[in-house]
A and B are shown apart, each in its own frame.
Chain A
Amino acid sequence: GEDVEQSLFLSVREGDSSVINCTYTDSSSTYLYWYKQEPGAGLQLLTYIFSNMDMKQDQRLTVLLNKKDKHLSLRIADTQTGDSAIYFCAEEGSQGNLIFGKGTKLSVKP
């Protein structure tokens, strides 16, 4: 079936890099997504990657995709306290809906 797995917590120091990992099951996803959710807020689309790409960079964000292992990662360079949030990985379901992981809570210590 369709499933997305993420580690639940990550703690880093301000200025360090954060790497959030995700594994997915549906190899037919055309795109894979990263969303950010701040407390009490909706989901903000951070970035997405086309399934035939290995890497995508967007300012401080780098997405790496290993299609063979069905592994997706999000790297945040120079992590700031404002990056503290829950980060969701998502793959596409068969009907165009998104299938989310449970989210990784990123805590950034000053």
Chain B
Amino acid sequence: NAGVMQNPRHLVRRRGQEARLRCSPMKGHSHVYWYRQLPEEGLKFMVYLQKENIIDESGMPKERFSAEFPKEGPSILRIQQVVRGDSAAYFCASSPGQGGTDTQYFGPGTRLTVL
């Protein structure tokens, strides 16, 4: 049973370009969370999605950032017109979305560098 998959693992963009980060949740998981980790910092929540729905995007910047989790395919975090301050590690986590602990399992992350 594969874990949470993220790609690419490393992404380099120039200022003004677009970055697309992909996350495939664990098999059987219907909930996806995106977090951002700045250097020397903990992870900060960005957005919580279920299939075809955004449940909570309170941690996501209002401009340039968007996320989706379509019925088929991976979840996508999209950053338009990237700036240097977007350089960070972006982690996706998935959970089954059932009762109980609903533990989140993390992917290996995408490390975005903006030149």
Contact = CB atoms under 8 A, between A and B. Distances in A.
B115 interface: no
A98 B45 contact: yes
A42 B91 contact: yes
Nearest to B101: A31
Contact of B59 (A4, A41, A45, A97): A97
Interface in B70-87: none
A43 B91 CA distance: 9
A88 interface: yes
A105 to B, nearest CB: 9
A99 B106 contact: no
B106 A97 contact: no
A97 B42 contact: no
Interface string A37-60: 000011111001010000000000
A41 B37 CA distance: 12
Interface of B: 4, 6, 31, 33, 35, 40-45, 48, 55-56, 58-59, 91, 93, 95, 101-109
5 contacts: A42-B4, A42-B107, A42-B109, A97-B45, A100-B43
